[in-house]
Structures are given as C-alpha cells and as structure tokens.
Amino acid sequence: MAEQPCGFLVLDKPAGPSSHGCVARVRRAYGLKRVGHGGTLDPAVTGVLPIALGAATRLLPYLGGDKAYRGVVQLGLTTSSDDLEGEELERRPLPSLSPSELEAALAPFRGAIEQVPPQVSAVHVDGERAYARVRRGENLELAARPVTIHRLELLNWEPASGRLELELRCSAGTYVRALARDLGAALGCGGALARLRRTEALGFGLEQAVSLDALDAGGPGGSPPPLLDPLVPLRHLARHQLSPAEQEGWRCGRAPLLPDALGELAPDSPVVVLDPDGNLAGMARTAGGVLQPKLVLDAAG
C-alpha cells in the first residue's frame, strides 16, 4: 500500500470560496479524505489558508495561533455583520481626521484588549453558532473575550473616501471586523471592514502559498503541488532526536527519559520528537522526567 501523504499545503484563498470548499478541492486533488484546515477564512477574505493532509491533521493543535492581516476599514458606516457583506444599518458624516488623530484613536486597540465578537460569527452560543441564530432573526448579546493585538499599523488614510488601510498581527480569536466596528465607534462615525487579506497564519506566510488554480491544475490524476514538511510549522517548539536504542520503544508507545537539555521546560510542554534520521516521529509532552508520547507516527503493531 502506498505511503499516505503527511504535510501541509498553504493556499492563497481568493475571495468567494469558503474554507470548507477549499478543503474539498484539496481532498479531490490529493485523493485523500483526511484533510483539515487551520483557521477559517470568511468567503470574502483572501490569503493564507493552511491545510493539513494525512497525519499532519493531528499536528494542528501544536501550531502557533498568531495571525497577521492587511485590511481596509470604511468609516462612516455600520452594518449587521461589521463588514460590507452585511445589511447597512446607519451612515454618518465622515469626520475630518489627520493621520496623527487616527494614530491616537488606534492606540487603545494595541496590546491585550477585550473584544465583543461580531453578531455574524462562528462563536458558540448555547451550543449553536452565533451566525445561525442571527439568521433566524435573533439579536444576541455576546460576551467580550480577551484577545491581544501585538502590532497595529496605519498604512494609508484617504480622507475623501473615509477609508484607511491597516496592518496587524494578533492572537487567535481576534476579529478584524470587530476592530473595524470598534474603531468606528471610538471615532463617533461607525466603521465596517471593507477588505481583508490574511498574510500569515499558524507559522505560514504568503511566500509559501499556492493558488487554487495551481491546485486544480495538478489533480486529480496529475501532480498536485508538493506538500511542506510537517516540521516547518513546528520550528517554534523544543525538539528531541531519538537514539537508535530509543526508537523502537517510542514506536511501541514507551516514554523516553527527558534529556538534560530539555530539563528546564515546564511540565506538560509540547516537544517535537525526531527519529534518528531527523524526520518527524511524533509529539510528546513533558511529564515526571519523561517525554510522554501524545502522537506516534509509524507506530508498531
């Protein structure tokens, strides 16, 4: 039986397709059922969509959660979805703002903040997605959640159109649509997200991305784009390379001793485990002086 692929594909998603639809196209191209994406993109949003194939789907929880975006905010407008896809709720006159005044308005959104998700979002409310309840006509009171905006830069300001371009890096769970809404509220004129492109996610960037056209051109029956080594997005984690003597025990699920070099790691820290040749052998957690196996590739038996 042919060895199953194990790795990552990074799509440069265009506007239009859903993340779920992109996963379906990857399944067809590679002839695999075991495919999953890391971090949903709304259909109108473009950019980095990491997709795991084969056993790499089990690595998704170990990847870094920070994401980076470039987006355009339209001031003077509020909508039901906090972007231009939703129903228009109100228009207000555009304020006269200098770049320095915009910088001052952006300052409170940098760092650790509390953010209320958009009404039309995938947040769970009593076991159901918020967007499903909103589509039935409900008006939800969503609780604020802690998020972190590590970087927020003003790239361009067009006073005539009321549009400003931003670049940001943020923690998982941050809604750029909510940022557009809250910035508009702080300026007293309303705001909605006009355009958004994700430039980084889960340790991957646009420089590693391929287009849907390139994906479709390669399969089925052809040669789809080569997958990225699963070690690429795990480079932020500690590593342990098994000795030949340790390898067989690892394949049987036995925990190797925690090496001295990793002795300062906190309990339950994730560790990438490599085989003697330097290939990914699995994932472990530090526990009581050993590396407790959590994912064993090429397990024996």
Q: What is the pLDDT of residues 237-282, one digit of tens each?
A: 999 999 999 999 999 999 999 999 998 999 999 999 999 999 999 9
Catalytic residue chosen out of the listed positions 12, 42, 82, 83: 42
DSSP state at residue 243 = P
Choice between 74 and 123, residue whose per-residue pLDDT is larger: 74
Q: How far is CA 184 from CA 74, 91, 165, 193, 276, in A?
A: 8, 11, 13, 10, 55
- Catalytic residue check, 298: no
DSSP state at residue 54 = G
Beta strand pairing status for 204-205 and 238-241? unpaired
Kindly report, as residue ranges, where domains of CATH 3.30.2350.10 are found in the chain: 67-201
The class level of CATH for 67-201 reads: alpha beta
Predicted confidence (pLDDT) per residue in 82-123, tens digit: 999 999 999 999 989 999 999 999 999 999 999 999 886 556
Q: Name the fold adopted by 237-296.
A: 2.30.130
**Cα(278)–Cα(291) distance, integer angstroms:** 17
Burial of 32 (0-12, 13-18, 19+ CB in 10 A): middle
Residue 2 is predicted with a pLDDT of: 47
Kindly report, as residue ranges, where domains of CATH 2.30.130.10 are found in the chain: 237-296
Closest to 249 (Cα-Cα) out of 272, 286, 281: 281
Q: HSE of 245 in the Cβ direction (CA atoms, 13 Å)?
A: 2
